[in-house]
Amino acid sequence: MPSSTSKHAPVILITGTPGTGKTTHAQLLVEESPLPLRHINVGDLIKDKALYEEYDEEWQSYTVDEDKLLDELEPLVSAGGVILDWHTVDIFPERWADLVVVLRCDHTKLWDRLEKRNYPLKKIQENNEAEIMEVVLDEARSSYAPEIVVELKSEGTDDLESNVSRVVQWIEAWRQDHSVSD
């Protein structure tokens, strides 16, 4: 069920395996959106606000304190007009999301992208397996209503432009459905 109709703009979750273009999509959406949106890179927020329990050296990632993260995000999300960009979304309450965009990428392209980021081999392999097995897509589909989960290919500039255009059209429809004016 969508969140409160008193919001001035929707809450959009952009997710996907690391390297699928979440941040690039979110930044472009903020620029192109007909409604004001704020991009929150959840991974950066976790680091900046110390919303973690520890850092795992082997995986080069943080063990997130989910309660602290949700407490930090709740007031921001409840106001609406937010794009949450993170590699997983199943911890976010269903009531938060108006749209869940799952970005997908061919695993060979993904491998190259993660190598360029200097990810350790073990992390590249794990993320590639997750992409092949559709882990993020399955999490999104099992956590949110099917009608708000959209799977989009993200393999190049054409996909990026098409995806952003599609989401901008969705935002326009959301605005009309919620009688929000500029």
| All residues at 6 or more sequence positions from 86 whose CB lies less than 8 Å from its CB, including other chains | 13, 14, 15, 22, 41, 42, 43
141 labelled ligand-binding: no
pLDDT in tens, 124-174: 999 999 999 999 999 999 999 999 999 999 999 999 999 999 999 999 999
**pTM greater than 0.85:** yes
The response to whether 21 counts as a known ligand-binding position is yes
Q: What is the pLDDT of residues 54-91, one digit of tens each?
A: 998 887 889 999 999 999 999 999 999 999 999 999 99
Q: What is the DSSP string of 43-102?
A: HHHHHHTT-EEEEETTTTEEEE-HHHHHHHHHHHHHH--EEEE-S--TTS-GGG-SEEEE
23 known ligand binder? yes
pLDDT classification of 182: cutoffs 50, 70, 90: low
For the domain 11-175, what is the CATH code?
3.40.50.300
Is 95 known to sit in a ligand binding site? no
